Structure 1
Amino acid sequence: MGDPAGDTIIAIGANLPGADGAAPLASCRAAAAALDGVCGLSLVATSSWWETAPEPPAPESPWYVNGAARLRGEADPAGLLAALQAIENAAGRVRPYPNAPRTLDLDIIAMGRLVRAGPDPVIPHPRAHLRRFVLVPLAELWPGWTHPVSGLTVRAILDSLPPAPMRAAGEA
Protein backbone atom coordinates (compact mmCIF):
# COMPACT_ATOMS: atom_id res chain seq x y z
CA MET A 1 0.00 0.00 0.00
CA GLY A 2 3.00 2.29 -0.18
CA ASP A 3 5.50 3.75 2.24
CA PRO A 4 3.80 5.54 5.17
CA ALA A 5 6.68 8.06 5.16
CA GLY A 6 5.29 9.22 1.81
CA ASP A 7 1.80 9.89 3.18
CA THR A 8 -0.03 13.12 2.45
CA ILE A 9 -1.58 15.30 5.15
CA ILE A 10 -4.59 17.47 4.31
CA ALA A 11 -5.78 20.09 6.80
CA ILE A 12 -9.57 20.47 6.91
CA GLY A 13 -11.42 23.48 8.31
CA ALA A 14 -14.68 25.41 8.16
CA ASN A 15 -16.46 28.10 10.14
CA LEU A 16 -19.55 28.83 8.03
CA PRO A 17 -22.48 26.59 7.12
CA GLY A 18 -21.97 24.70 3.87
CA ALA A 19 -23.84 25.39 0.65
CA ASP A 20 -26.31 22.72 1.76
CA GLY A 21 -26.78 24.40 5.16
CA ALA A 22 -24.66 21.78 6.96
CA ALA A 23 -22.89 22.86 10.13
CA PRO A 24 -19.10 23.31 9.83
CA LEU A 25 -18.40 20.02 11.64
CA ALA A 26 -20.66 18.11 9.22
CA SER A 27 -18.97 19.81 6.26
CA CYS A 28 -15.54 18.84 7.59
CA ARG A 29 -16.58 15.21 8.10
CA ALA A 30 -18.07 15.06 4.60
CA ALA A 31 -14.90 16.56 3.13
CA ALA A 32 -12.76 13.97 4.93
CA ALA A 33 -14.91 11.18 3.48
CA ALA A 34 -14.66 12.76 0.02
CA LEU A 35 -10.87 12.59 0.18
CA ASP A 36 -10.90 8.77 0.00
CA GLY A 37 -10.03 7.97 -3.60
CA VAL A 38 -9.25 11.53 -4.69
CA CYS A 39 -6.39 11.43 -7.23
CA GLY A 40 -5.96 7.73 -6.45
CA LEU A 41 -5.13 8.36 -2.77
CA SER A 42 -6.61 6.26 0.03
CA LEU A 43 -7.84 7.72 3.30
CA VAL A 44 -5.82 6.15 6.12
CA ALA A 45 -7.16 8.12 9.10
CA THR A 46 -8.75 11.35 10.24
CA SER A 47 -7.88 13.27 13.38
CA SER A 48 -10.19 14.41 16.12
CA TRP A 49 -12.11 17.60 15.38
CA TRP A 50 -11.14 20.81 17.14
CA GLU A 51 -12.81 24.17 17.57
CA THR A 52 -10.28 26.97 17.18
CA ALA A 53 -10.27 30.74 17.29
CA PRO A 54 -9.71 32.48 13.95
CA GLU A 55 -6.09 33.29 13.11
CA PRO A 56 -5.47 36.14 12.76
CA PRO A 57 -8.01 37.08 15.45
CA ALA A 58 -11.27 38.39 14.00
CA PRO A 59 -14.01 39.11 16.56
CA GLU A 60 -16.73 39.04 13.87
CA SER A 61 -15.64 35.60 12.63
CA PRO A 62 -17.07 32.40 14.16
CA TRP A 63 -14.67 29.83 15.58
CA TYR A 64 -13.44 27.18 13.15
CA VAL A 65 -13.76 23.44 13.19
CA ASN A 66 -10.36 22.01 12.25
CA GLY A 67 -8.94 18.56 11.73
CA ALA A 68 -6.75 16.67 9.32
CA ALA A 69 -6.72 13.61 7.10
CA ARG A 70 -3.86 11.26 6.31
CA LEU A 71 -3.84 9.84 2.80
CA ARG A 72 -1.66 7.12 1.27
CA GLY A 73 -0.53 6.76 -2.31
CA GLU A 74 1.09 8.92 -4.94
CA ALA A 75 -0.49 11.95 -6.54
CA ASP A 76 0.55 14.91 -8.62
CA PRO A 77 0.60 17.98 -6.32
CA ALA A 78 -1.09 20.30 -8.85
CA GLY A 79 -3.75 17.69 -9.63
CA LEU A 80 -4.39 17.18 -5.92
CA LEU A 81 -4.72 20.93 -5.37
CA ALA A 82 -7.25 21.16 -8.21
CA ALA A 83 -9.23 18.25 -6.75
CA LEU A 84 -9.26 19.86 -3.28
CA GLN A 85 -10.44 23.17 -4.74
CA ALA A 86 -13.25 21.35 -6.55
CA ILE A 87 -14.39 19.86 -3.21
CA GLU A 88 -14.21 23.33 -1.62
CA ASN A 89 -16.20 24.87 -4.48
CA ALA A 90 -18.88 22.18 -4.18
CA ALA A 91 -19.19 23.14 -0.50
CA GLY A 92 -19.80 26.78 -1.46
CA ARG A 93 -16.30 28.15 -0.83
CA VAL A 94 -15.74 31.74 -1.90
CA ARG A 95 -12.57 33.79 -1.48
CA PRO A 96 -13.55 37.45 -1.00
CA TYR A 97 -10.32 38.33 0.88
CA PRO A 98 -7.43 36.55 2.64
CA ASN A 99 -8.43 34.66 5.82
CA ALA A 100 -12.14 35.25 5.15
CA PRO A 101 -14.62 32.99 6.94
CA ARG A 102 -15.27 29.90 4.82
CA THR A 103 -17.60 26.99 4.26
CA LEU A 104 -14.62 24.68 3.72
CA ASP A 105 -10.85 24.94 3.55
CA LEU A 106 -8.64 22.07 2.40
CA ASP A 107 -4.87 22.61 2.47
CA ILE A 108 -2.06 20.28 1.46
CA ILE A 109 0.21 20.35 4.50
CA ALA A 110 2.77 17.77 3.40
CA MET A 111 3.29 15.10 0.78
CA GLY A 112 5.86 12.81 2.34
CA ARG A 113 9.32 14.41 2.21
CA LEU A 114 8.47 16.49 -0.88
CA VAL A 115 9.77 20.06 -0.87
CA ARG A 116 8.30 22.22 -3.63
CA ALA A 117 8.72 26.01 -3.81
CA GLY A 118 6.33 26.44 -6.72
CA PRO A 119 4.33 26.61 -8.79
CA ASP A 120 1.32 26.17 -6.51
CA PRO A 121 0.97 24.26 -4.34
CA VAL A 122 3.99 25.11 -2.20
CA ILE A 123 4.85 21.99 -0.17
CA PRO A 124 5.17 21.72 2.76
CA HIS A 125 2.50 24.31 3.45
CA PRO A 126 4.43 27.54 4.07
CA ARG A 127 2.59 28.45 7.31
CA ALA A 128 1.71 25.04 8.76
CA HIS A 129 4.60 25.20 11.25
CA LEU A 130 3.05 28.37 12.72
CA ARG A 131 -0.45 26.97 13.25
CA ARG A 132 -1.36 24.98 16.32
CA PHE A 133 -4.76 24.21 14.74
CA VAL A 134 -2.91 22.34 11.96
CA LEU A 135 -0.20 20.71 14.07
CA VAL A 136 -2.37 19.27 16.86
CA PRO A 137 -4.45 17.19 14.41
CA LEU A 138 -1.30 16.30 12.44
CA ALA A 139 0.38 15.05 15.64
CA GLU A 140 -2.63 12.81 16.33
CA LEU A 141 -2.41 11.26 12.87
CA TRP A 142 1.34 11.02 12.59
CA PRO A 143 3.18 11.52 15.92
CA GLY A 144 6.56 10.81 14.29
CA TRP A 145 6.16 13.36 11.47
CA THR A 146 9.12 15.62 10.83
CA HIS A 147 9.02 18.84 8.85
CA PRO A 148 10.80 18.12 5.55
CA VAL A 149 12.63 21.48 5.56
CA SER A 150 13.48 22.16 9.23
CA GLY A 151 13.82 18.52 10.25
CA LEU A 152 11.94 19.30 13.47
CA THR A 153 9.40 16.84 14.83
CA VAL A 154 5.77 17.87 15.06
CA ARG A 155 6.10 17.73 18.87
CA ALA A 156 9.13 20.07 18.86
CA ILE A 157 7.31 22.53 16.60
CA LEU A 158 4.20 22.44 18.82
CA ASP A 159 6.32 22.97 21.94
CA SER A 160 7.80 26.11 20.36
CA LEU A 161 4.42 27.72 19.64
CA PRO A 162 2.54 30.03 21.99
CA PRO A 163 -0.76 28.77 23.39
CA ALA A 164 -3.84 29.28 21.21
CA PRO A 165 -7.54 28.90 22.01
CA MET A 166 -8.56 25.34 21.11
CA ARG A 167 -11.09 22.86 22.43
CA ALA A 168 -12.43 19.50 21.34
CA ALA A 169 -15.34 20.04 18.94
CA GLY A 170 -18.62 19.95 20.80
CA GLU A 171 -17.27 21.23 24.12
CA ALA A 172 -18.84 24.41 25.51
Structure 2
Amino acid sequence: MILIALGANLPGPDGRDALETCRAAAAALDGLLGLRLRALSRWYATAPVPPSPGAPDYVNGVARLALRPGAPPPDPAALLAALQGIETRFGRVRPYPNAPRTLDLDLIDLGGLLRDSPDPILPHPRAHLRAFVLAPLADVAPGWVHPRLGAPVAELLAQAGRQGIRVLA
Protein backbone atom coordinates (compact mmCIF):
# COMPACT_ATOMS: atom_id res chain seq x y z
CA MET A 1 0.00 0.00 0.00
CA ILE A 2 1.28 3.45 -0.95
CA LEU A 3 -0.16 6.49 0.80
CA ILE A 4 0.13 10.01 -0.56
CA ALA A 5 -1.13 13.08 1.31
CA LEU A 6 -2.51 15.90 -0.82
CA GLY A 7 -2.91 19.50 0.28
CA ALA A 8 -3.33 23.00 -1.11
CA ASN A 9 -4.36 26.42 0.14
CA LEU A 10 -3.77 28.71 -2.83
CA PRO A 11 -5.47 28.86 -6.21
CA GLY A 12 -3.52 27.31 -9.05
CA PRO A 13 -2.06 29.33 -11.91
CA ASP A 14 -4.99 28.12 -14.01
CA GLY A 15 -7.48 29.66 -11.55
CA ARG A 16 -8.58 26.38 -9.96
CA ASP A 17 -9.36 26.65 -6.28
CA ALA A 18 -7.49 24.45 -3.79
CA LEU A 19 -10.15 21.71 -3.80
CA GLU A 20 -10.25 21.51 -7.60
CA THR A 21 -6.44 21.38 -7.68
CA CYS A 22 -6.36 18.53 -5.15
CA ARG A 23 -8.95 16.58 -7.13
CA ALA A 24 -6.97 17.05 -10.35
CA ALA A 25 -3.74 16.06 -8.62
CA ALA A 26 -5.37 12.89 -7.27
CA ALA A 27 -6.39 11.99 -10.83
CA ALA A 28 -2.78 12.62 -11.94
CA LEU A 29 -1.56 10.04 -9.41
CA ASP A 30 -3.41 7.26 -11.24
CA GLY A 31 -0.87 5.65 -13.57
CA LEU A 32 2.14 7.45 -12.06
CA LEU A 33 5.12 5.06 -12.30
CA GLY A 34 2.67 2.26 -13.02
CA LEU A 35 0.71 2.80 -9.82
CA ARG A 36 -3.07 2.70 -9.61
CA LEU A 37 -5.29 4.96 -7.53
CA ARG A 38 -7.37 2.61 -5.37
CA ALA A 39 -9.02 4.96 -2.87
CA LEU A 40 -9.37 8.66 -2.17
CA SER A 41 -10.37 10.07 1.19
CA ARG A 42 -12.94 12.69 1.92
CA TRP A 43 -11.59 16.23 1.70
CA TYR A 44 -10.85 18.15 4.89
CA ALA A 45 -10.33 21.84 5.65
CA THR A 46 -7.51 22.59 8.09
CA ALA A 47 -5.70 25.61 9.45
CA PRO A 48 -2.05 25.91 8.41
CA VAL A 49 0.46 23.99 10.56
CA PRO A 50 2.47 25.74 11.84
CA PRO A 51 0.04 28.67 12.12
CA SER A 52 0.54 31.32 9.47
CA PRO A 53 -1.40 34.56 10.08
CA GLY A 54 -3.49 35.53 7.08
CA ALA A 55 -2.90 32.27 5.19
CA PRO A 56 -6.06 30.55 3.96
CA ASP A 57 -7.09 27.15 5.29
CA TYR A 58 -5.77 24.07 3.53
CA VAL A 59 -7.72 21.41 1.71
CA ASN A 60 -6.26 18.01 2.66
CA GLY A 61 -6.83 14.42 1.64
CA VAL A 62 -5.03 11.11 1.24
CA ALA A 63 -4.80 8.82 -1.77
CA ARG A 64 -4.16 5.09 -1.47
CA LEU A 65 -2.29 3.63 -4.42
CA ALA A 66 -1.37 0.08 -5.32
CA LEU A 67 1.17 -1.55 -7.59
CA ARG A 68 0.11 -3.04 -10.88
CA PRO A 69 0.04 -6.84 -10.55
CA GLY A 70 3.59 -8.16 -10.76
CA ALA A 71 5.16 -4.69 -10.76
CA PRO A 72 8.07 -3.98 -8.41
CA PRO A 73 7.69 -1.21 -5.84
CA PRO A 74 8.87 2.14 -7.17
CA ASP A 75 12.19 3.52 -6.03
CA PRO A 76 11.38 6.00 -3.22
CA ALA A 77 13.52 8.78 -4.72
CA ALA A 78 11.95 8.28 -8.15
CA LEU A 79 8.46 8.41 -6.65
CA LEU A 80 9.33 11.58 -4.72
CA ALA A 81 10.67 13.17 -7.91
CA ALA A 82 7.49 12.20 -9.79
CA LEU A 83 5.33 13.73 -7.02
CA GLN A 84 7.39 16.92 -7.13
CA GLY A 85 6.92 16.98 -10.90
CA ILE A 86 3.15 16.98 -10.39
CA GLU A 87 3.49 19.77 -7.82
CA THR A 88 5.47 21.84 -10.33
CA ARG A 89 2.86 21.21 -13.03
CA PHE A 90 0.26 22.63 -10.65
CA GLY A 91 2.30 25.77 -9.95
CA ARG A 92 4.09 24.84 -6.71
CA VAL A 93 6.89 27.18 -5.72
CA ARG A 94 9.02 26.95 -2.57
CA PRO A 95 9.88 30.51 -1.48
CA TYR A 96 10.39 29.51 2.18
CA PRO A 97 9.59 26.57 4.50
CA ASN A 98 5.86 26.04 5.15
CA ALA A 99 4.87 28.71 2.63
CA PRO A 100 1.27 28.66 1.36
CA ARG A 101 1.10 26.49 -1.74
CA THR A 102 -0.91 25.57 -4.78
CA LEU A 103 -0.20 21.87 -4.16
CA ASP A 104 1.67 19.70 -1.70
CA LEU A 105 2.10 15.96 -2.23
CA ASP A 106 3.76 14.00 0.57
CA LEU A 107 4.76 10.37 0.43
CA ILE A 108 3.49 9.02 3.75
CA ASP A 109 4.14 5.29 3.38
CA LEU A 110 5.59 3.06 0.69
CA GLY A 111 4.59 -0.48 1.58
CA GLY A 112 5.88 -0.23 5.13
CA LEU A 113 9.42 0.64 4.03
CA LEU A 114 11.62 2.10 6.77
CA ARG A 115 14.10 4.63 5.41
CA ASP A 116 16.08 7.20 7.41
CA SER A 117 17.98 8.79 4.54
CA PRO A 118 18.31 10.08 1.89
CA ASP A 119 15.02 11.79 1.07
CA PRO A 120 12.35 10.68 1.24
CA ILE A 121 12.39 9.59 4.86
CA LEU A 122 9.84 6.80 5.29
CA PRO A 123 7.36 6.68 6.74
CA HIS A 124 6.90 10.45 6.60
CA PRO A 125 8.59 11.74 9.76
CA ARG A 126 5.71 13.98 10.94
CA ALA A 127 2.62 12.21 9.60
CA HIS A 128 1.85 10.59 12.95
CA LEU A 129 1.56 14.04 14.58
CA ARG A 130 -0.81 15.61 12.07
CA ALA A 131 -4.55 15.12 12.22
CA PHE A 132 -4.83 16.61 8.73
CA VAL A 133 -2.94 13.55 7.48
CA LEU A 134 -4.29 10.95 9.90
CA ALA A 135 -8.04 11.66 9.51
CA PRO A 136 -8.05 11.25 5.72
CA LEU A 137 -5.58 8.35 5.99
CA ALA A 138 -8.09 6.58 8.25
CA ASP A 139 -10.71 7.04 5.51
CA VAL A 140 -8.67 5.09 2.94
CA ALA A 141 -6.69 2.71 5.17
CA PRO A 142 -8.48 2.26 8.51
CA GLY A 143 -6.31 -0.75 9.36
CA TRP A 144 -3.01 1.04 8.66
CA VAL A 145 -0.33 0.62 11.31
CA HIS A 146 2.59 3.04 11.45
CA PRO A 147 5.56 0.94 10.27
CA ARG A 148 8.02 2.43 12.75
CA LEU A 149 5.83 3.06 15.78
CA GLY A 150 3.61 -0.02 15.49
CA ALA A 151 0.58 2.10 16.35
CA PRO A 152 -2.71 1.92 14.41
CA VAL A 153 -3.97 5.03 12.66
CA ALA A 154 -6.99 5.31 15.02
CA GLU A 155 -4.67 5.45 18.04
CA LEU A 156 -2.40 8.02 16.39
CA LEU A 157 -5.41 10.17 15.48
CA ALA A 158 -6.73 10.00 19.04
CA GLN A 159 -3.32 11.11 20.34
CA ALA A 160 -3.09 13.96 17.82
CA GLY A 161 -6.60 15.22 18.50
CA ARG A 162 -8.73 16.80 15.79
CA GLN A 163 -6.55 19.95 15.58
CA GLY A 164 -9.43 21.97 14.14
CA ILE A 165 -9.91 19.90 11.00
CA ARG A 166 -13.36 19.61 9.46
CA VAL A 167 -14.84 17.54 6.66
CA LEU A 168 -15.71 19.56 3.57
CA ALA A 169 -19.29 19.12 2.34
Counterpart among 15, 20, 34 of residue 9 in structure 2? 15
Which aligned pairs between 1:70-85 and structure 2 lie closer than 5 A?
70-73=64-67, 74-85=73-84
Match of 2:159 in 1: 160
- Whole-Å separation in 2 of the counterparts to 1:105 and 1:76: 20
The correspondence for 1:54, drawn from 48, 58, 63, is 48
Q: CA deviation at 1:134?
A: 0.2
Matches of 1:163 and 1:105, distance apart in 2: 21
CA drift at 1:57:
1.1
Q: Specify the alignment match of 2:29 in structure 1.
A: 35
| TM-score calculated relative to the size of structure 1 | 0.93
Aligned to 1:66: 60
Distance in 2 between the 1:94 and 1:38 partners?
21
Q: How far apart are residue 168 of structure 1 and its match?
A: 1.6
Task: Give the deviation of 1:112 after TM superposition.
Answer: 1.4
Give the AA of the match of 1:47.
Answer: S
Aligned partner letter, 1:77: P
Q: Which runs of 5+ in 2 are unaligned?
A: 68-72
Distance of 1:138 and 1:168 partners within structure 2 = 13
- 1:77-110: CA deviation from partner (whole Å, max 9, x where unpaired): 1111010000000111000111100000000000
- Give the deviation of 1:162 after TM superposition: 3.3
SS class of match (1:75): coil
- Read off the aligned partner of 2:25 and give its amino acid letter: A
- State the identity %: 60
Q: Distance in 2 between matches of 1:162 and 1:25?
A: 23
Shift of 1:163: 3.4
Q: Secondary structure at the match of 1:108?
A: strand
Amino acid in structure 1 at the alignment position of 2:104 = D
Greater displacement, 115-124 / 156-165: 156-165
Residue type matched to 1:25 in 2?
L
> CA separation in 2, counterparts of 1:154 and 1:67?
15
Is residue 109 from structure 1 mapped to residue 103 from structure 2 by the alignment?
Answer: no
Q: Does 1:145 align with 2:139?
A: no
| TM superposition score normalised by structure 2 | 0.95
Q: C-alpha displacement at 1:167, in angstroms?
A: 1.4
Deviation string for 1:37-92 (max 9, x for gaps)?
10111100100000001111112110000001000012111111010000000111
Following TM superposition, the consecutive aligned residue runs of length 4 or more in structure 1 with deviations greater than 2 angstroms are: none
Residues in 2 aligned to 1:77 and 1:8: alpha-carbon distance in whole angstroms: 11
